[in-house]
């Protein structure tokens, strides 16, 4: 295992499964960057590894600071299933980067049970200049609430995608201060 981080004892099978999904997500994200999308992509899967929904970040396209990939995906699935509580479904979320401060809240209140992310917030901030917020002890806080977290999955691939976003000169959106 490279530098996988988790809030449980690392389960190799979960990591192997997550790697496959995250590689596909990173490749898909890379190929849509030139159309101005991203640079983040999230997908929700059920416990049998069926894809339920997948959304890209659409902050710039839709002029809404809420529209992070995780937010868009949760909203789509809850609308589809007509419920605000996804807990009974045992859903998993796979994300091309560590969730920001806003998305941690959204994930916590959505009822999603497991999250798997690729690039750390620290690297997102270093590469792009986005502000990911402040998230004290969030892995422990998620564990307390029964949400399993795995991170740093195929992070080098994810860093390349973010570097490409910056190279293309796409928007690093943030409020003016
Ligand atoms: Zn976010």
- Is the pLDDT at 64 greater than 90, yes or no? yes
Round to whole Å and give the CA distance between 13 and 11: 6
**Mean pLDDT value across the chain:** 96
- Separation of CA 17 and ligand 1 centre (Å): 23
Half-sphere exposure of 89 (CA within 13 A, CB side): 22
For residues 82-107, give the mean pLDDT.
Answer: 98
- Separation of CA 108 and ligand 1 centre (Å): 12
Does 70 qualify as catalytic in the annotation?
A: yes
Say whether the peptide bond before residue 148 is cis (omega within 30 degrees of 0): no
Whether residue 84 contacts residue 78, with contact meaning beta carbons closer than 8 Å, is answered with: yes
Percent of the chain whose predicted confidence (pLDDT) is above 70: 99
- Is the pLDDT at 165 greater than 90, yes or no? yes
- Is the pLDDT at 1 greater than 60, yes or no? no
pTM score, whole prediction: 0.96
Tokens of 56: 């890209």
Round to whole Å and give the CA distance between 41 and 55: 6
- Separation of CA 34 and ligand 1 centre (Å): 21
């Amino acid at each position: 295992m490279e530098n996988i981080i988790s809030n449980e004892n690392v389960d190799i099978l979960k990591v192997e499964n997550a790697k496959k999904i995250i590689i596909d997500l990173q490749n898909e994200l890379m190929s849509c960057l030139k159309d101005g999308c991203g640079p983040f992509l999230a997908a929700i899967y059920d416990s049998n590894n069926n894809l339920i929904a997948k959304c890209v970040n659409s902050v710039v396209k839709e002029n809404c600071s809420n529209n992070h990939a995780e937010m868009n995906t949760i909203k789509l699935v809850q609308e589809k299933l007509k419920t605000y509580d996804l807990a009974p479904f045992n859903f998993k979320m796979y994300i091309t980067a560590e969730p920001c401060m806003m998305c941690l809240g959204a994930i916590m209140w959505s009822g999603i049970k497991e999250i798997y992310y690729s690039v750390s917030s620290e690297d997102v901030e270093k590469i792009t200049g986005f502000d990911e917020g402040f998230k004290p002890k969030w892995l422990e806080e998620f564990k307390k609430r029964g949400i399993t977290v795995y991170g740093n999955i195929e992070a080098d691939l994810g860093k390349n995608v973010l570097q490409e976003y910056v190279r293309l000169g796409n928007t690093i959106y943030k409020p003016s201060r």
